[in-house]
Amino acid sequence: MTKNTIKNESEHSGELRHFQAATRPTIVLLTANFLFNHSFQLLQGVIDAAKQQQFNLFYFRCGALQSPHESEAQGNILYQLAHSPQIDGLIIASSLLGQYVEKDEVERFSRQYCSRPIVSVGEELSCATSNVILDNYTGIYRLVEHLIVEHEHRGIAFIKGPAWHIEAQIRYQAYCDALKAYGLPLNSKLIFSGTFRREDGKKAVATFFEQRQYGLDAIVAANDQMAFGAIEELSKRGIHIPAQLAVTGFDNDHLSKASSPSLTTAYQPTYKMGVKAVETLASILRGENVAQQITFSTPLMLRESCGCVRSSMPNNIAIPELPTNQANATLSARKAPILKALAEWVNGHGLHFELLWAEQFWDALMQELAQHTPNVFLMKFHDILRQLSLTEDYFIIGHEFLAVFRNWVFPFFDAEQRGYAEALWQQAHAELGKTFQRMVMMENARMAQYFHAFHNLSAALLTTFDLEKMLGMLGEDLPQIGVESAYFLVYDEPRVFGEPQPEWSTLIFAFHDGKRLPIESERQRVCAAELFKDSFLLSEKPSSIMTLSLYFQQTELGIAFLEIRTMMQGFYDFLNKLLSNAAYGIWLTKRLQKSTSIENHI
């Protein structure tokens, strides 16, 4: 591709532009599917941190290594793009890529990129400059210990992950060690081997009951998905959870809070791990020394499925103690230690809350109590809720915050203040409920809009074989499904799945900032080795670009590069299939046009 310097924005309005990648580092995230919440959270953490570091980020929607699922494996041709010399560093989600292979295979795969800095997330790789890993052992050990000590369970079953998966092995070892530490026997009939899929949880429960394991009183699953499957199957069989049987998981999936009963689990902070991976890679690129291993803890999220009440109940939380010389301090003097402890407690339970919000909340409450100024407190609380609504757990955080704040602050009010504050608290809970309902309605409406747009575009693409009309439809409808920029490249000749990626392809569609861009003839041909160099894919600001393999059955058709405005878990598969179908239609159309041209010539 021809090198082009960056020109003034007005000179390029509505044109396909090339920007020099050398203006900022370009990094790549290699990860498997985004269906599971922890993989989606990892992706979000990497995207947010890459923007903060002013990096260009390409994240490849690939499949796990040697995946038996064709829809995943078809994307693995994209791994070849990561060999580009223009890539400055890689983040490899090793535990996600290694779902179906042993650690040695993940090592072998990762070693091909060792000429650049590598940060591994999940598994510790010898070829990685730094490894961001999870304390899998402690999370499972403490879950089993909790069931034994706090709930007096003795017949504890375990649903394992894949035997070859290193994190699954560690979690199983923790289960075995916890039983041994408390003098409980290891019963092979209470162990089921799964693959981290929801269906495995259902099969495990069916197996346990078919073997008539009468002593079974708790199930520990190696991840939340298998725990959800177990709960579903137990419910079908009329088994009450937790009265008759306790269930725990591992991940703290977003559904674990909303399931019925809510799921006790160990928190896997994959968003924070993604952020840390990018920050570590940034340090490496600056020539700084970094730790070979960075470990994240896995605190317990104690909920209903094991028999625990919510951890935020007032009688479960001790008020932060002040130094002896401040024991008789006024309420205002207690502000700093209480707010600090509050923020640490909420964040320590896998939630995110800014200390500034707590300070604003405190000041508004004290102002209204002192002056009886109507609505000051509720207006500030509503403002905080709007900021919280940008986070995944806003309802949970709001509930936890109100409960803990009440427990720590109300004891220092006099009778009049306490009565007034109780009335404010009831209003705050009502406001929290209304905000939650509004957010649910907005989210449902947004998802309905996306599904409607997907359906309309898919149906429209099936009704035409006119190439220009197809591309025009894509230009009109892509913004409706959250796509800000899109570039489609098709191979000159489609390749059979498993063959090497073609060196050259043709750019047939360019879309940026809501506009379809004209493609000059000399820029239609694209070399795979220079995609990340002086590229039309990049812009004057940091870019986060999803890369998709376009295919139909066993035929590899091309590549799509997309910048997506709104991250929505679960839509990537829909989008990949939609664009693959469009690419197949385009390929058929070009093939038909070529055939017609030959016939006319004859």
Tens digit of pLDDT for each residue in 222-270?
999 999 999 999 999 999 999 999 999 999 887 887 788 989 999 998 9
Mean pLDDT of 2-19: 40
pLDDT digits (tens, 9 = 90+) for 312-336: 433 344 445 544 444 445 677 777 7
pLDDT for residue 570: 61
List CB contacts of 258: < 8 A, sequence separation 6 or more. none
Report the distance separating Cα 156 and Cα 158, nearest Å: 7
| Top-ranked range on mean pLDDT: pick from 287-301, 406-420, 467-481 | 287-301
Which residues have a Cβ under 8 Å from the Cβ of 216 and sit 6 or more positions away? 155, 157, 190, 208, 245
What tokens appear for 243 in the block?
Answer: 């009265």
The H-or-E segment that residue 285 falls in is helix 270-285
For the chain, helix (H) and strand (E) counts, in that order, are 16, 20
497 or 378, greater pLDDT: 378
DSSP track, 222-235: SSHHHHHHHHHHHH
Of 42, 18, 17, 54, nearest to 544 by C-alpha is 54
In this prediction, residue 1 carries a pLDDT of 35
With a pLDDT cut of 70, the percent of the chain lying above it is 78
- Which band of pLDDT confidence, cut at 50, 70 and 90, is reported for residue 392? low
Pairing of the two strands 89-92 and 118-122:
parallel
This prediction has a pTM of 0.78
Mean pLDDT for 559-578 is 73
17 φ, ψ (degrees, to nearest 5): -115, 155
Degrees, nearest 5: CA angle 37-201-572: 30
As a three-state string, the secondary structure of 399-429 is HHHHHHHHHHHHHHCCHHHHHHHHHHHHHHH
Residue 289 burial (10 A CB sphere; 0-12, 13-18, 19+) = exposed
Out of 71-80, 144-153, 245-254, pick the least confident.
71-80
Q: How confident is the model at residue 158 (pLDDT cuts 50, 70, 90)?
A: very high
Q: Three-state SS string across 148-161, please?
A: HHCCCCCCEEEEEC
- Give the max Cα distance, the chain: 101
Which residue, among 352, 300, 342, has the nearest Cα to 41 in the 3D structure? 352
CA atoms within 13 A on the CB side of 406: 22
Do the Cβ atoms of 121 and 93 come closer than 8 Å? yes
Question: How far is C-alpha 59 from the geometric centre of its chain's CA atoms?
Answer: 13
Copy the structure tokens of residue 445.
């409406």
Q: What is the overall mean pLDDT for the chain? A: 80
pLDDT over 90, % of the chain: 33
Q: Which two tokens stand for residue 314?
A: 């007032």
> Which contacts of 549-552 are long-range, i.e. CB under 8 A and separated by 24 or more positions?
549/61, 549/62, 549/74, 549/75, 549/76, 549/77, 549/78, 549/576, 550/488, 550/490, 550/579, 550/580, 550/583, 550/584, 551/74, 551/497, 551/580, 551/583, 552/580, 552/581, 552/583, 552/584, 552/587
Q: Which of 120-129, 470-479, 484-493 has the highest mean pLDDT?
A: 120-129
Residue 12: predicted pLDDT: 39
How would residue 597 be classed by pLDDT, with cut points 50, 70 and 90?
A: low
Distance of alpha carbon 163 from the chain centroid: 24
pLDDT of amino acid 117: 96
Which residues, other chains included, contact 106 with Cβ-Cβ below 8 Å and sequence gap of 6+?
Answer: 65, 94, 97, 98, 123, 125
User: What was the pLDDT predicted at 478?
Assistant: 79
* pLDDT at 350 > cutoff 60: no
Q: Report the pLDDT value the prediction gives residue 216, as an integer from 0 to 100.
A: 92
Highest-scoring range by mean pLDDT, 27-41, 109-123, 363-377, 448-462: 109-123
Query: Do residues 439 and 387 make contact, with C-beta atoms less than 8 angstroms apart?
Result: no
Q: What pLDDT is attached to residue 332?
A: 73
Q: By three-state DSSP, how is residue 20 classified?
A: strand
Q: What is the pLDDT of residues 338-349, one digit of tens each?
A: 777 776 766 655
What pLDDT is attached to residue 3?
A: 34
- Least confident range from 154-158, 297-301, 359-363: namely 359-363
pLDDT for 301 beyond 60: yes
User: Beta-carbon neighbour count of residue 192 at 10 Å?
Assistant: 22
pLDDT at 111: 95
Which range in 178-182, 413-417, 436-440, 518-522 is most confidently predicted, on average pLDDT? 178-182
pLDDT of residue 13: 43
Strands 191-193 and 130-134: unpaired
Place 22 in a pLDDT band, splitting at 50, 70 and 90: low
Report, as an integer, the average pLDDT of 101-128: 93
Lowest mean pLDDT across 207-211, 263-267, 527-531, 594-598: 594-598
Sequence-ordered strand ranges (E) for 101-244: 118-122, 130-134, 156-160, 191-193, 218-221
| pLDDT, mean of residues 215-226 | 95
Q: Which of 366-380, 386-400, 550-564 has the lowest mean pLDDT?
A: 386-400
Q: Tell me the HSE value of 87 on the side-chain side, using a 13 A CA sphere.
A: 25
